[in-house]
Amino acid sequence: MEHIRLPKVEQVKLLDRVSPRKSRVGTLYLTATHTIFVESEDGQRDETWVLHSLVSSLEKSSSSSSSSSGVSLMIHCKNFQLLQFVIPEEQDCQDILLSLQRLSQPESYEELYCFAYKPNVAEEERQREWDFIDLTSEYKRMGVPNSHWKLSQANQDYKVSDTYPSEVFVPESATLPVIVGSSKFRAEDDFPPCATTTEETTQPCVAVVSLCPASALGAWRMSRFERNRQQSAGKGYENEDNYSNIKFQFLGIENIHVMRNSQQKMLEVCELRSPSMSDFLERLENSSWLKHIKAVLDAALFVAKAVSEEGVSVLVHCSDGWDRTSQVCSVASLLLEPHYRTLRGFMVLIEKDWISFGHKFSHRCNHLDGDPKEVSPIVDQFLECVWQVTEQFPCAFEFNERFLITVHHHIYSCQFGNFIGNNQKEREQLEIQKRTHSLWTYLWSNRADFINPLYRSNHSQTQGVLQPSTAPYCFKFWKGLYNRFERGVHPRQSVEDCLRTIREETEQLEEQLASHKQKISKLEEQKWTVSMNIFDKSPTAWIFSPT
Amino acid sequence: MEFAELIKTPRVDGVVLHRPFLPTVEGTLCLTGHHLILSSRQDNTEELWLLHSNIDAIEKRFVGSLGSIVVKCKDLWIIKLDIPGMDECLNIASSIEALSTLDSVSLMYPFFYRPMFEVIEDGWNTFRPEDAFKDLESMTDEWRLSEVNKDFNTCPSYPPLLAVPKDIDDDTLRKVATFRHGGRFPVLSYYHQKNGMVMMRAGQPLTGTNGRRCKEDEKLINATLRAGKRGYIIDTRTINIAQQAKAKGGGFESEANYPQWRRIHKAVERSNVLQESLIKLVEACNDQSHSMDRWLSKLEASNWQTHVKEILTTACLAAQCIDREGASVLVHGTEGTDSTLQVTSLAQIILDPASRTIRGFQNLVEREWLQAGHPFQVRCAQSAYSSNKARQEAPVFLLFLDCVWQILRQFPCSFEFNESFLVLLFEHAYASQFGTFLGNCAADRVKLGLPDKTVSLWSWVNRQQELERLTNPLYEANSLVIWPSVAPQSLLLWEGVFLRWNRSSKCLDEAYKEMVHIIEYNKELQNKVNSLRRQLAQLETEDPLLQSP
């Protein structure tokens, strides 16, 4: 509370970016967790709530339109909401700005919303939330441990790798010293564990996929350059001589800094006011965003094909192993494994490839006031890749677009504990499971909103490996996420909502049908006995018998 | 001329056909006067029947004695035929070239086509102007049906019957016709029942450099205004282009002579530019490079989406003037046969729920495109692949269909028809066994005797099995005005046409089937529940003995 310099400002205008005439006047409140705008129009009490942890940047400028006096405060949010307020007094605006700057960039984890978020849930139930997704049973589903993969104790107490979970699966033949050696050899101590298994893991051949930018053609020349460059930084890639039976493949996915700048440019496109078509397409191209999305999907498709068609095991790595690697492994798993395309399976996938394998959520999503160079939309790209695939396979996924957008929202919102911290070790230190709520149960209990009505578990699209086309024209701009709050640009009628209503109605009809059938058979039975009774007494009653 | 003269080699065996997403077929290739036929001569395999008029361009390739012909169609399909024998290949190629570019309309296939289905309703009589006028009369008595053009003398590109303001007589119309490009005097395009406002269309006024004036023209359009009300003139050209038109005898309505009208200029592109745009877009879609930068920059450079946005924006403006401002509107560009019709017909899609039904849309195409004199014959003579220099070809109608598709995407429950109907109209506008899109105007159609000698597309469409295929299962009549978004994010590439042969639509088709299944299952259950409910009610009432205890 000590950070709130000014709890309330009146006569604030919330501008409508599309049609300025629709702007609203009201009161702006700052609370410990939210900025709240309450419209003061008679009869209308529309409220706009913005969580402080969702604020990504703030801009103050003297109001551009001469007609309205005051100072403009622009709030850019991590969920791509953009709010522009006009505050009458310069000093008030300054106070709000300074308060929000502090509130939106907490200095310690303890300040995050998840520790303050206390819905009306019994403690016992809260504890159970954390058992909802259980990775041990997931590994069991995958069929490990087995004769080739075993549970390793090597990382107990995070002795070997801080960023890995304490329980990992490694090849049976790898003994403890090999794992330690392997991790020393790799940057940041990530040793190669098992991300997804298929029946083919027994094959001796392994494909090593490097996601660093080095084109597959002329890989040697490029990779030498890459090696020289990286070896000077103490990093490198597997020397082919030391890994027999191994194919190398370089797939160029850019690093986190390139991705951050690219998204920034792409968001500028979204924020343009009534751009022309050329403006839009040209800037979209210049942002390179879709190019990067395509690169990730290309790499994932490569891995999925290597596993499913050539039957080889795949070792995926980049320089650190928690960004590009997570993206590619998780998208590839999704293409390979129908289970990950279900609501629950998708949660498992995120839990396994992102949360447990040390994607640095708090750094990448800027949960705390930290190094801006650590921020990068890696997980956004993952979610977008999934969305792009859902567009090509409308029946293959149990969840819908809204689900992906909601997951995105809460990765940034800090309302749930799942994504807090940068690895499992940190989360244990923060006692996340003891003090916060889990997103997964929240999503599960609201699953009616997130189900794709076209999904049917026995549909051909839900079976087997998905092979999306990665031709450039198959990639679309994801307005559902990046223009999420611009109501005007979305379709005015939703096929999905229609189908959802119809399916709900169908379910009711099925119940009615069953109950009618039951009633009818009951009645007929009764009638039969009645008519039989009558028949006993009066031989003329036969006309009442059922036909 | 006999077709036989053009067919040097009527039959070749051992030809291999390559098509996108389908297995190759080996069989016998036959050329007839109107078709290229490939048959594998086995039972249960489909034969390929390709209309010569659908062929936009061909390319010959030779490897040793094996020749290949790449056939590029107007509906953007590309197939390849491997033909053994150099001579055969050359002969086939030259025959296809000759047969696909026949100049004489009367040699076209519709004159030879005999329907294999029973014509229940003759499409040539389905949408008569008299009937349309009866509908209008039931709403207003301010208009009359004029026969001034019954011999096509007043305006060669107009139909014989036209709706004009009641107080304007035929003599006045004749005078106005001399003042408007191509004799296209202002006529009624749409009557907005909600507020009685109207949309008219015309050719540009022939003011020339010295500002010629026509009192009758002013009188005609002023007759459509309510007392004290102003109207809007939407000129589909920029002010610069409209200015330049004066040098060629054209021009626009000056404020001085039309004080009751506010003129708005928009920038809807016309013929050659549009044809260029289509060629570039299709080229971009067929680019195999797999580079995202290249795709986006080519898409942008084609300007196709820009045209879609401009046309829709202008149509929205016209609709807004009518519905929101409560004003009457006159739309024109230069000739009044292209951009004008895009705007007036799309404005009706936005405003008029009737035009969003299957029949209403046919009616709209008939009234605002065919009767209104859009020159289909010349505009659709070539498509995106032809290397001939475009003369008057332009994808004006395709752009209109694209815009309708955009609105359909945004309001998926407000149209009785689905995307297939729009694709079908695109195909038939460019090549067809039906006579509907032959000729350039009503006068041509009379001259060619189309209603007697050919079958109408509508006769074929308006049959149960076709209608079923074209009906949108999500349709729920929506009596409201539907305002589309024209933001670049909202306008998509029409995959169903432009990527149709580039990417497999299998999964999307399956999704459509799944949707149909969900809806049909629901209806089936409804019927079952209703009949059980009746049965139950009957059981409960018919048996007095059951009620008594």
Q: What is the DSSP string of A299-326?
A: HHHHHHHHHHTS--EEEEE-SSSSSHHH
Whether pLDDT at B290 is above 90: no
Among A151, A205, A159, A208, residue whose Cα is nearest residue A184 = A159
Question: How far is it, in rounded angstroms, from Cα B126 to Cα B370?
Answer: 13
Compute the residue count for chain A. 547
* pLDDT (0 to 100) of residue B216: 96
- Which H/E stretch holds residue B398? helix B396-410
Residue A544 has pLDDT above 70, yes or no: no
Q: Do B412 and A491 touch (CB under 8 A)?
A: yes
> Between the ranges A68-72, A172-176, A320-324, B460-464, where is the mean pLDDT highest?
B460-464
- Bridge partners of B66? B63, B84
Confidence grade of residue A190 (pLDDT, cut at 50, 70, 90):
very low
Q: State the number of CA atoms in the 13 A half-sphere of A284 facing the CB.
A: 26
**pLDDT at A536 > cutoff 70:** no
Average pLDDT, chain A: 81
CA dihedral sign, ordered A172, A173, A178, A183: negative
Tell me, what's the pLDDT at A390? 97
Read off the pLDDT band of A309 (50, 70, 90). Answer: confident
Q: What is the mean pLDDT of residues B112-139?
A: 92
Interface test with A, best of B268, B269, B292 (most A CBs within 10 A): B292
Mutate to test the interface with B, among A277, A454, A540 (most CBs of B within 10 A): A277
What is the reported pLDDT for B543?
61
Q: Is the pLDDT of residue A150 over 80?
A: no
Interchain contact, B515 vs A483, CB within 8 Å: no
SS3 A26: strand
Is A470 in the B-facing interface, judged by CB distances under 8 Å? yes
**Is A345 marked within a binding site?**
no
ipTM confidence score = 0.94
Query: Which residues of chain B are within 8 Å of residue A472 when distances are taken between CB atoms?
Result: 290-292, 294-296
**Which of B233, B299, B300, B245 has the alpha carbon at shortest distance from B270?**
B245
Interchain CB contact of A487 with B (< 8 Å): no
What is the arithmetic mean of pLDDT over A454-470? 92
A322 is in an annotated binding site: yes
Q: Do A476 and B526 touch (CB under 8 A)?
A: no
The C-alpha atoms of residue B374 and residue B360 are separated, in whole angstroms, by 19
Residue B260 contacts A, CB cutoff 8 Å: no
CB within 8 Å: B297 and A278? no
Q: Which of A194-203, A377-386, B249-258 has the lowest mean pLDDT?
A: A194-203
pLDDT score at A149:
65
Residue of B nearest to A394 (CA): B511
Tokens linked to B163 = 């709706």
CA-CA distance, A392 to A386, in Å (whole number)?
Answer: 10
Residue-level pLDDT at A196: 47
Nearest neighbour of A544 by CB, restricted to B294, B507, B543: B543
User: Considering Cα of B358, then B359, then B364, then B366, what sign does the dihedral take?
Assistant: positive
Is A279 marked as binding a ligand? no
Say whether A135 sits in a helix, a strand or coil: helix
Distance separating alpha carbons of residues A170 and A190, to the nearest angstrom: 12
Which residue is closest to B537 within chain A, CA to CA? Answer: A520
- Does A543 score more than 70 pLDDT? no
pLDDT of res. B545: 56
How near does any CA of chain B get to the CA of A490, in Å? Answer: 7
The SS3 of residue B134 is helix
For residue A138, the distance in angstroms to the closest alpha carbon of chain B comes to 29
- Count CB-CB contacts under 10 A for residue A224: 11
Mean pLDDT confidence for A419-445: 94
Nearest CA in chain A to B303: A278
Record: contact B309-A276, CB cut-off 8 A: yes
Query: What's the gap between Cα B259 and its chain centre?
Result: 36
Q: A 181-210 residues with CB below 8 A of B?
A: none
Answer yes or no: is pLDDT of B2 > 90: no
Write down the mean pLDDT value for chain B.
Answer: 94
SS (H, E, C) B54-85: HEEEEEEEEECCEEEEEEEECCCCEEEEEEEC
* pLDDT at residue A308, as a whole number: 86
The residue type at B508: L
* pLDDT exceeds 60 at position A95: yes
Phi, psi torsion values for B115, nearest 5 degrees: -65, 140
- Is residue A22 less than 8 Å (CB to CB) from chain B? no
* Amino acid at the residue B403: C
Whole-number pLDDT of residue B294:
96
- Is A417 labelled as part of a ligand binding site? no
Q: What is the pLDDT of residue B507?
A: 94
Name the nearest CA neighbour of A180 among A160, A206, A208.
Answer: A160
Whether B510 sits inside 8 A of A460 (CB atoms) is yes
Rounded Cα–Cα distance for residues B414 and B423 (Å): 18
The reported pLDDT for the residue numbered B40 is: 86
pLDDT attached to residue B41: 73
Supply B24's token pair.
């190759």
Residue A508 sits at the chain B interface (C-beta within 8 Å)? no
Q: Coil, strand, or helix at residue A530?
A: helix
* Residue among B367, B368, B365, B355 at smallest CA distance from B477: B355
- Which DSSP helix (H) or strand (E) runs through A286? helix A277-287
Give yes or no for A517 touching B (CB within 8 A). Answer: yes
Tokens of B539: 């059981």
User: How many contiguous H segments (helices) and E segments (strands) does chain B have?
Assistant: 21, 14
Within 8 A of B527 by CB-CB distance, chain A residues are none
Residue whose structure tokens are 């021009």: B251
For strands B11-19 and B162-165, give the pairing: unpaired
Lowest mean pLDDT segment, chosen from A171-185, A289-303, A414-428: A171-185
Least confident of A206-220, A316-330, B355-369: A206-220
Split at pLDDT 50, 70, 90, the class of B389 is confident
Active site residues of A: 318
Query: In terms of Cα–Cα distance, which of B485, B75, B440 is closest to B278?
Result: B75
Q: What is the pLDDT of residue A541?
A: 43
Amino acid at B371: Q
Which residue is closest to B414 within chain A, CA to CA? A493
State yes or no: pLDDT of B232 exceeds 70. yes
Q: How many residues does chain B have?
A: 549
Phi, psi angle pair for B79, to nearest 5°: -125, 160
Q: Which residue of B has its CA nearest to A529?
A: B546
Closest partner residue to A290 among B292, B489, B508, by Cβ? B292
SS3 assignment, position A126: helix
* pLDDT for residue A177 is more than 60: no
Q: Which residue has the higher pLDDT, A232 or A529?
A: A529
Q: Is A229 on the interface with B (CB under 8 A)?
A: no
* Cα separation, A79 vs A365, whole angstroms: 11
List the 485-504 stretch of B: residues with Cβ below 8 A of A.
485, 487-493, 499, 502-504
Higher-confidence residue of A18 and A206: namely A18
What pLDDT is attached to residue B549?
Answer: 43
Using a CB-CB distance cutoff of 8 angstroms, which residues of chain B are in contact with residue A489? 485, 487, 489-490
Q: Which of B39-48, B142-151, B249-258, B481-490 has the lowest mean pLDDT?
A: B39-48
| The residue type at A521 | S
HSE-up of A398 (CA within 13 Å, CB side)? Answer: 18
Cα A498 → chain centroid: 25
Number of A/B CB contacts below 8 angstroms equals 173
- Residue A324 labelled as part of a binding site: yes
Euclidean distance between CA atoms A293 and A270, whole angstroms = 17
The answer to whether B216 and B175 have CB atoms below 8 angstroms apart is: yes
Tokens of B17: 């056909």
Q: How far is B411 from chain A (nearest CA, A)?
A: 5
Is a pLDDT exceeding 70 seen at residue A132?
yes
DSSP element (H, E) containing A441: helix A439-445
Report yes or no: B138 at the A interface, CB cutoff 8 Å: no
Per-residue confidence band for A234, with pLDDT thresholds at 50, 70 and 90 = very low
Which residues make beta-bridge pairs with A149? Answer: A171
A320 in a labelled binding site: yes
User: Average pLDDT for residues B131-138, to the nearest whole number?
Assistant: 92
* Paired tokens of B377: 């014959």
B436: nearest Cα among B457, B463, B407, B406: B457
- Residue of higher predicted confidence among A317 and B392: B392
Chain A residues with beta carbon closer than 8 angstroms to that of B539: 520, 523-524, 527
With CB atoms and an 8 Å threshold, state whether A277 touches B305.
yes
- Which residues of B are less than 8 Å from A467 in CB distance? none
Which 3 state secondary structure label does DSSP give B124? helix
- Pure H helices in A78-236: 90-104, 123-129, 135-142, 176-185, 219-231
The pLDDT tens digits for A60-73 are 987 655 456 789 99
What confidence tier does A228 reach under pLDDT thresholds 50, 70, 90?
very low
Residue A208, pLDDT score:
55
> B539 — contact with chain A (CB < 8 Å)?
yes
All residues of chain A having their beta carbon less than 8 Å from the beta carbon of residue B399 are: none
How would residue A12 be classed by pLDDT, with cut points 50, 70 and 90?
very high
Q: Does B140 touch chain A (CB under 8 A)?
A: no
A369 is in an annotated binding site: no
A504 φ/ψ angles, rounded to the nearest 5 degrees:
-65, -45
Whole-angstrom distance, CA of residue B189 vs CA of residue B200: 5
Residues of B in contact with A280 (CB under 8 A): 488-489
**Does A141 contact chain B (CB < 8 Å)?**
no
pLDDT in tens, B11-34: 999 999 999 988 899 999 999 999
In the numeric block, which tokens belong to residue B306? 């820009």
Residue A469's pLDDT band, with cuts at 50, 70 and 90, is very high
Tell me: pLDDT of A156 over 90: no
- CB contact B532 to A (< 8 Å): yes
Residue holding tokens 């490009």?
B181
Torsion, CA B211, CA B216, CA B220, CA B226, rounded to 10: 80
Q: Which of A30-44, A263-277, A308-322 has the lowest mean pLDDT?
A: A308-322
DSSP line for A367-433: -SS--GGG---HHHHHHHHHHHHHHH-TTS-SB-HHHHHHHHHHHHH--SSTT-SSSHHHHHHHTHH
A251 closest CA partner among A289, A297, A216: A216
Nearest to B300 among A282, A456, A499 (CB): A282
Is 60 exceeded by the pLDDT of residue A455? Answer: yes
Note whether B529 contacts A513, CB cutoff 8 Å.
yes
Q: Tell me if B296 and A498 make a contact (CB, 8 A cut-off).
A: no
Give how far B545 is from chain A: nearest CA, Å.
8
Q: Answer whether B380's CB lies under 8 Å from B439's CB.
A: no
Quick check: A394 and B518 CB within 8 A?
no
Name which residue leads in pLDDT, B400 or B548.
B400
Task: Work out the minimum CA distance from B237 to partner chain A, whole angstroms.
Answer: 18
The tens digit of pLDDT for each residue in B434-457 reads: 999 999 999 999 999 999 999 999
**Cα(B383)–Cα(B426) distance, integer angstroms:** 11
**CB of B411 less than 8 A from some CB of A:** yes
Please name every residue paired with A152 in a beta bridge, in sequence order, or none if there are none: A168
A350-364, B48-62, B479-493: which has the minimum mean pLDDT?
Answer: A350-364
Answer yes or no: do A527 and B543 touch at CB < 8 A.
yes
Query: Which amino acid is residue B168, in one-letter code?
Result: I
Predicted confidence band at B178 (pLDDT cuts at 50, 70, 90)?
Answer: very high
Question: Average pLDDT in the B47-69 region?
Answer: 92
Q: Is A522 left (phi over 0), alpha (psi -120 to 50) or beta?
A: alpha
Residue B211 has φ and ψ, to the nearest 5°, of 65, 50
Largest Cα–Cα separation, chain B: 99
Q: Average the pLDDT over B493-514 and give the result.
A: 94
